[in-house]
Amino acid sequence: MSDLSGQLIDGRYELLEQLASGGMATVYVALDTRLDRKVAVKIMHPHLADDEIFVNRFIREAKAAAALSHPNIVAVQDQGWNQNGVPAVFLVMELIEGSTLHDYIFEQGALSPAETIHFLIPVLSAVAAAHKIGIVHRDLKPENILISTNGRVKVADFGLAHGDLIGHTLTAESSVILGSVSYLSPEQVQRGVADARSDVYSLGIIAFELLTGEKPFSGDSPINIAYRHVNDRVPAPSSLVSGIPESLDALIVRATRVNPDERPRDAGEFLEQMRAIQVELDPKRSQMSLELDLPPVIIREKSRKTKRVSSPLKAMSSGTVLPMKSSTGGKTPKDKPSRTTSTIATRRKASARVRRNRWIAGILALFVAGGIWYATAGMKSGVGVPSDLVGMSTKDATTALKAVGLGATISDQVFSEIVPIGKIISTDPGGGGKVKAGGLVSLVVSKGPERFSVPIVKGLTQDAATALMQKNSLIVGTVKQTFNPTIAQGIVISSTPVAGTELRRDSQVDLLVSQGPELLVLNSYVGKSGDQALTELTNAGFVASTTYAYSDTVAIGAVISQTPDGNGGTAPKGTKIALVVSQGSESVFVPNLYSFTEARATAMLQDLELKVSVKKIGTRANKTVTNISPMVGTKVKRGSTVIITVG
């Protein structure tokens, strides 16, 4: 794209100089001629401006960022089409003068755990605000995190954002092309889909890079790096750099799991855990909850009432006696006071309402005077409460208060995810407040994290399991169903996490519920090949077995009977099916064996499952069968004895 510096966009924004250029747009430093201030203007490349899909996506970026109001998110101020001059689709943002986090890492290298957390918390706070209203950034990387010259951290470029406020998700192809592969989550690489947990993964990679000074994976090509994100586990930062707290190390490992279900559910949960680690490293941080550069200032609305101005006539009714001029030098005789003056000076008796108002005003004046005295003298005479009690144990806090002549009382015990059990959460008065000598300071003590044990729900119905979870302050999450040959339909098989696991209030517990045994179609194989019946029944999921019997009506090798009968109905998977296969007829006919040698005749009879008895006569060397009993063609049962005479 050619440099548009010097152009006037939309009759308002004068492009001063090119700031940066990417695959989709170019960013300029511009002057808002209407408000006389510098802004950043992002202009889509001309070859994309004709593509409706890209234009809509560009506009979604404006809507995504404009929907967010947070001190750590670059504010979007305007969006439009340049109707006059160079055709352009543009976006106007606040101008952040400074550098990117990428530049900072390049200059500084690996940061300490405290510095890393210091950078991450405002970023997490910004992304958490987006996740709270259903917006996913999708392209978090150090290049999109800006550090202003006054130290403010800003998250920029919600161009890949997606949520209910923006529209539909991008395809896998566009997501991979437009995202930065070193920070893409495995699900973005594989399926082109992303949710809040995908941003958590990218934030985990950024945290890894802040701590170690390098990315977890490198390769010869983007495809190679993407492959490693999908197939390899991100190593723990402590494997490269020593001195990283175990809790911080474990959190980053969890945030970069390949399976999204194993990560924090969104940036809000990630931020909460990061703050807990910050307090763990510095307990005094428990009293700080703002990432703002300045504390908020409450601007009170000015009174709309006008001040009252004393009337010039008021002095005349104030009881002041005005002297009257005489005709001789203007003096009033001392021995004869004027009747007019006397009349004006005379006070009327005050009404009951006026007297009551005077009493009230007097009492209020006493209260005001007492408050002024307490603020100026009374408070100064008290004993100051130590400012470092938060984070101490009850015993240590009591000792510290005793040292300055104060006592301690536990006013409340509450659960805390940040302050360890038995430690002080807050005091009343707070640190620096005044208490009279020998007075008591109220302590709020931590009961530690609030946890609820997952109950045993195996064997319960789904409704009963849900009620038991609610009784234990937990929520039933995903309910999956599966066939089970031994557990009845609608009965819980197991829970995830398992029974006995300690969870926070309102945590989700997934259930696996039985659908009962899986029913399969059972066909009849009577008259069909026994081998075919055995193979097909086994492949279908039944347990088939074969026995053999004689049959005069069913061909040898065919199925005589089947138990249970197969008539096109259903039977549970794993049902045992008994097959009876024909061995052929129970009777056979005696064959013609005359002139056969003894060996050949014997073999033929044995093949018919007949017993053979041989009688030998004569002196011939080559003897053959000369007689058969029973006679040829006689029907006999298998196993009967046939006598042959050879001679």
Active-site residue list: 139
Query: What is the residue type of 263?
Result: R
Give me the residues paired with residue 79 across strands. 91
User: Coil, helix or strand for 409?
Assistant: strand
Cα–Cα separations (whole angstroms), residue 67 to 72, 163, 455:
14, 11, 41
Q: Are 559 and 579 in contact (CB under 8 A)?
A: yes
CA pair distance 43, 79, nearest whole angstrom:
10
CA pair distance 71, 296, nearest whole angstrom:
12
CA pair distance 508, 475, nearest whole angstrom:
5
Q: Are 137 and 176 in contact (CB under 8 A)?
A: no
Q: Are 581 and 547 in contact (CB under 8 A)?
A: yes
Q: Are 105 and 28 in contact (CB under 8 A)?
A: no
Q: Where are the alpha helices (DSSP H) in 133-195?
A: 172-178, 186-191
CA nearest neighbour of 115 among 243, 210, 248: 210
Q: Are 140 and 183 in contact (CB under 8 A)?
A: yes
Render 249-274 in DSSP notation, one character per residue.
Answer: HHHHHHHT-SSGGGS-SSHHHHHHHH
Quickly count helices (H) and strands (E) in the chain.
16, 29
Classify residue 212 as exposed, middle or buried by CB count within 10 Å of its CB (0-12, 13-18, 19+). buried
Q: Calculate Rg over the CA atoms of the chain.
A: 47
CA nearest neighbour of 194 among 135, 142, 252, 234: 135
Residue listed under structure tokens 């000015």: 302
User: Coil, helix or strand for 332?
Assistant: coil
Residue listed under structure tokens 């960022």: 65
Give me the residues paired with residue 513 across strands. 481, 492
Going across the sheet that includes 508-514, the strands are: 475-482, 508-514, 492-496
